[in-house]
C-alpha cells in the first residue's frame, strides 16, 4: 500500500518505529462485578494526536476513558502518560483534564468562575488567572459571556465553556466524553471543525469517546474500534474504513455486503473464491489463505456497480439479480438486489443526474459488477 500514502501519512508518528508513544495503555482490564467492561487493552497514542475511541454503547470505551482520567481503578495493567506511571495517582493529581458528556458545569458559578476553577486549585496568582480565563474565552469565542451562569447559556455555548475549562490548565492529555452528543446535527458539524482547529492550534493530545462513526471519521488522526471491552482495530479513518479487519468493524463503520465463500485458488496475491450462497465467483486481492479455506469478503455498497446490460466477462466479479427495493437518499440511491442464488446485495449509486424517471427501477433484471480491489477479505 506504500504507493497510496499521502504526504501527510509519511509524517504520521505511529508509522515511525523510532517514535515512542506519549500515552501508553498496557494490559488494562476492568470488571464491574461479573460484567467485564474492559478486557486486556493495549494502546499507544502519540503526542498531538486526535484519537477516537469508537464503539457501540456498552463496549467499554467510556470506562477506558474514565481509567485514563483516574475515576476508575483498573483491575490489571497500567497507564503511562509522558513516561510517568499513573497507577494509584488520584484524578486531582493527574496532568489530564476531561470534558464531560453532561459538561458538568458548576451551576452555582459563573462562566469565568467555572473556567478559573482549575487554576484556583493550583493556587495560581489572581492576575494570571484573569489573563488565562480571558484567553480561553477568546479561544472559544465567548468574550463577554464571562459573567453569565451556565443556565443562561445555550447548549453550544455550554459545550464551549466546558472545553475552555478543560483546556485552561494546559493538560498533557484532554479526554472528551461524547463532546458533541448533546448538540443538534447542524451545530455538531460546525463544532467538529472548530474542535479540530483548536486541537491543532494548541497541540494538546485529544482522546475522544464517541459512538458516532461520522464524528470519529471527520475528526480523528487515528481511531480504535471497540467491542465487548476489547479493541478490534486501530488505524486512520481511511485504513479502518477501507480495510476493516473483521466483520464487526466492517458492519459497524459504514455499510458492508458480506459474502461468504470458499477459496478455490491462491496465486500472485490474488484469491479466487467460490461464493455459492451469492451465486458467483470472486477474484480479490489477498493471500495467506490456502485453497479450500472458508472465508468472508466485505464490499462497501459504493464499490459495487449496477448495470442493465450483461458485462463482457461474467466468469468472476459479476452476478445477476433483480432489484427489489430502492432507498432514495437524495445525493445517492441504495439499490437492494436479490441475486438469482437468493443473496441480498446493497449497491449505492451517486445520483449525478437530476432524476425523474429512474434508469433502473423495481423488478428490473440487473448485473452487479466490481473491481478486484473492491472487496476485502476479513480476518474473522
Tell me how far apart the alpha carbons of residues 2 and 227 are, in angstroms, rounded to a whole number.
29
Tell me the per-residue interface mask from 132 to 171 with other proteins, x by CB under 8 A, - otherwise: -----------------x-xxxxxxx-------xx--x--
- Could you tell me the sign of the dihedral formed by the alpha carbons of 183, 184, 187, 193, in that order? positive
Alpha helices per DSSP H over the chain = 7-10, 61-69, 111-121, 126-139, 155-167, 185-202, 213-219, 237-242, 247-252
Residue in 106, 193, 328, 362 binding other proteins, rule: CB under 8 A: 106
Tell me how far apart the alpha carbons of residues 222 and 12 are, in angstroms, rounded to a whole number.
10
Taking the least distance from each CB to other proteins, the nearer of 120 and 365 is 120
Cβ of 373: how many Cβ atoms within 10 Å? 10
Instruction: Report in angstroms how near the CB of residue 125 gets to other proteins at its nearest.
Output: 16
Grid coordinates of 251: 458492519
Grid coordinates of 380: 474473522
Residues that contact other proteins, how many (by CB under 8 A): 35
Instruction: Report in angstroms how near the CB of residue 100 gets to other proteins at its nearest.
Output: 5
Cβ-contact 257, 346 below 8 angstroms: yes
Cβ-contact 237, 214 below 8 angstroms: no
Cβ of 201: how many Cβ atoms within 10 Å? 9
Instruction: Report in angstroms how near the CB of residue 97 gets to other proteins at its nearest.
Output: 6
Cβ-contact 190, 36 below 8 angstroms: no
Grid coordinates of 144: 463577554
Tell me how far apart the alpha carbons of residues 325 and 323 are, in angstroms, rounded to a whole number.
6
Tell me the per-residue interface mask from 43 to 72 with other proteins, x by CB under 8 A, - otherwise: --------------------------xxx-
Is there binding between residue 35 and other proteins (CB under 8 A)? no
Instruction: Report in angstroms how near the CB of residue 111 gets to other proteins at its nearest.
Output: 12
Residue in 54, 59, 86, 96 binding other proteins, rule: CB under 8 A: 96
Is there binding between residue 118 and other proteins (CB under 8 A)? yes
Residue in 73, 102, 264, 361 binding other proteins, rule: CB under 8 A: 102
Tell me how far apart the alpha carbons of residues 55 and 219 are, in angstroms, rounded to a whole number.
15
Grid coordinates of 367: 448485473
Contact window for other proteins (CB under 8 A) among 97-105, 280-288, 312-320, 324-332 = 97-105
Instruction: Report in angstroms how near the CB of residue 117 gets to other proteins at its nearest.
Output: 5
Is there binding between residue 185 and other proteins (CB under 8 A)? no
Taking the least distance from each CB to other proteins, the nearer of 39 and 124 is 124
Instruction: Report in angstroms how near the CB of residue 300 gets to other proteins at its nearest.
Output: 36
Tell me the per-residue interface mask from 206 to 245 with other proteins, x by CB under 8 A, - otherwise: ----------------------------------------
Q: Residues interacting with other proteins, by CB under 8 A?
A: 69-71, 90-94, 96-98, 100-102, 104-108, 117-118, 121-122, 149, 151-157, 165-166, 169, 187
Amino acid at each position: 500500500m506504500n504507493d497510496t500514502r499521502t504526504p501527510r501519512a509519511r509524517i504520521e508518528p505511529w508509522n515511525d518505529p523510532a517514535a515512542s508513544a506519549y500515552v501508553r495503555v498496557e494490559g488494562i482490564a476492568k470488571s464491574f462485578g461479573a460484567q467485564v467492561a474492559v478486557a486486556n487493552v493495549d494502546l499507544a497514542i502519540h503526542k498531538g494526536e486526535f484519537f477516537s475511541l469508537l464503539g457501540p454503547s456498552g463496549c467499554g470505551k467510556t470506562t477506558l476513558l474514565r481509567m485514563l482520567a483516574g475515576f476508575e481503578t483498573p483491575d490489571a495493567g497500567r497507564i503511562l502518560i509522558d513516561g510517568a506511571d499513573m497507577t494509584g495517582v488520584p484524578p486531582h493529581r493527574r496532568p489530564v483534564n476531561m470534558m464531560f458528556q453532561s459538561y458538568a458545569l458548576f451551576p452555582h458559578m459563573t462562566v469565568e468562575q467555572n473556567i478559573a476553577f482549575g487554576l484556583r486549585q493550583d493556587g495560581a496568582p489572581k492576575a494570571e488567572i484573569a489573563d488565562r480565563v480571558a484567553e480561553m474565552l477568546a479561544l472559544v469565542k465567548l468574550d463577554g459571556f464571562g459573567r453569565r451562569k451556565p443556565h443562561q447559556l445555550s447548549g453550544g455555548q455550554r459545550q464551549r465553556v466546558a472545553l475552555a475549562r478543560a483546556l485552561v490548565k494546559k493538560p498533557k492529555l484532554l479526554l472528551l466524553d461524547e463532546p458533541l452528543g448533546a448538540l443538534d446535527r447542524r451545530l455538531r458539524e460546525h463544532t467538529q471543525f472548530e474542535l479540530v482547529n483548536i486541537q491543532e492550534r494548541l497541540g494538546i493530545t485529544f482522546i475522544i469517546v464517541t459512538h458516532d462513526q461520522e464524528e470519529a471519521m471527520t475528526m480523528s488522526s487515528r481511531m480504535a474500534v471497540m467491542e465487548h471491552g476489547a479493541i478490534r482495530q486501530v488505524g486512520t479513518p481511511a485504513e479502518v474504513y477501507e480495510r476493516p479487519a473483521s466483520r464487526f468493524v466492517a458492519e459497524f463503520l459504514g455499510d458492508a455486503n458480506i459474502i461468504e465463500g470458499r477459496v478455490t485458488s491462491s496465486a500472485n496475491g490474488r484469491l479466487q473464491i467460490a461464493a455459492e450462497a451469492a451465486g458467483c465467483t470472486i477474484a480479490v486481492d489477498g493471500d495467506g489463505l490456502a485453497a479450500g479455506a472458508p472465508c468472508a469478503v466485505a464490499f462497501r455498497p459504493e464499490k459495487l456497480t449496477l448495470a442493465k446490460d450483461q458485462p463482457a466477462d461474467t466468469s468472476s466479479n459479476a452476478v445477476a439479480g433483480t432489484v427489489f427495493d430502492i432507498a432514495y437518499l437524495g445525493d445517492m440511491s441504495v439499490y437492494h438486489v436479490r441475486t438469482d442464488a437468493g443473496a441480498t446485495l446493497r449497491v449505492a449509486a451517486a445520483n449525478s443526474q437530476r432524476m425523474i424517471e429512474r434508469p433502473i427501477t423495481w423488478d428490473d433484471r440487473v448485473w452487479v459488477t466490481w473491481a478486484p480491489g473492491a472487496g476485502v477479505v476479513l480476518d474473522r
